[in-house]
C-alpha cells in the first residue's frame, strides 16, 4: 500500500478501524505550503470551521523514515514536525496494529488579506499507553469518544 492509498482510505488500519480516545494533545502541522489548494478546499467545505484530520504513519517517506502525514478530506494538508514525528509514528503504528486510527479535529488559520497562506492547527487524542509529553497536552477535546484505548 502506497501513500496515495493511505490518502484514499484515510487510515492505515483499514476500513474497520476505530478512532482512539485519549488525552487531547495539540498538533502543529508543517509543510502546508505544499498543499494550499487542498487546504483551501477543506476550509471551504468545513465552512471555515473545524474539520476532521487523521494522522497516518508514512513509513515509506524517502525524506523522513519517521514521517507522519496529516490527512483531511482524503488528501494531505501537511506533516507533523520531525522533532515530534518519531514519537508519534511509533504510537500511531501501535494503535493501527490494534485496529485504531488517530483522528482529531483541526482548523485553518490565515487565507485572508495580509496573510494569504493557510496553516493548519489541530488537536488529536494521544494513542500511547503511556502519557503524552506534558508540553503537548491541551485543555480542548480531541476527536471521538467511546472506546477503551
- What are the extents of the domains in the chain? 3-136
146 versus 26: the higher-pLDDT residue is 26
pLDDT for 66: 96
State how far the alpha carbon of 126 is from the alpha carbons of 4, 44, 95, 123, 129, in Å: 25, 28, 10, 9, 9
- Which helix (H) or strand (E) covers residue 95, if one does? helix 82-97
pLDDT for 10: 42
pTM here is 0.80
pLDDT for 28: 86
Distance CA 144, CA 132 (A): 18
pLDDT band at 85, cuts 50/70/90? very high
Question: What mean pLDDT comes out for the span 117-129?
Answer: 90
pLDDT for 138: 64
Report the CATH architecture of 3-136: 2-Layer Sandwich (3.30)
27-82 residue pLDDT tens:
989 999 999 999 999 999 999 999 999 999 999 999 999 999 999 999 999 999 99
E strands in the chain: 18-19, 24-30, 51-57, 68-72, 75-80, 100-112, 115-125
pLDDT for 139: 57
| Residue in 149, 145, 135 with CA at minimum distance from that of residue 25 | 135
pLDDT for 108: 95
Amino acid at each position: 500500500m502506497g501513500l496515495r492509498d493511505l490518502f484514499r482510505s484515510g487510515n492505515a488500519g483499514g476500513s474497520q478501524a476505530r478512532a482512539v480516545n485519549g488525552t487531547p494533545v495539540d498538533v502543529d502541522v508543517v509543510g502546508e505550503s505544499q498543499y494550499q489548494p487542498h487546504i483551501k478546499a477543506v476550509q471551504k467545505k468545513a465552512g471555515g470551521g473545524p474539520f476532521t484530520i487523521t494522522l497516518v504513519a508514512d513509513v515509506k517517506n524517502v525524506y523522513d523514515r519517521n514521517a507522519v502525514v496529516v490527512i483531511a478530506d482524503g488528501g494531505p494538508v501537511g506533516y507533523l514536525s520531525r522533532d515530534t514525528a518519531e514519537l508519534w509514528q511509533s504510537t500511531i503504528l501501535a494503535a493501527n496494529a490494534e485496529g485504531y486510527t488517530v483522528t482529531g479535529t483541526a482548523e485553518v488559520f490565515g487565507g485572508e488579506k495580509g496573510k494569504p497562506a493557510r496553516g493548519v492547527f489541530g488537536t488529536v487524542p494521544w494513542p500511547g499507553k503511556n502519557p503524552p509529553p506534558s508540553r503537548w497536552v491541551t485543555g480542548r477535546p480531541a476527536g471521538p469518544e467511546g472506546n477503551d484505548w
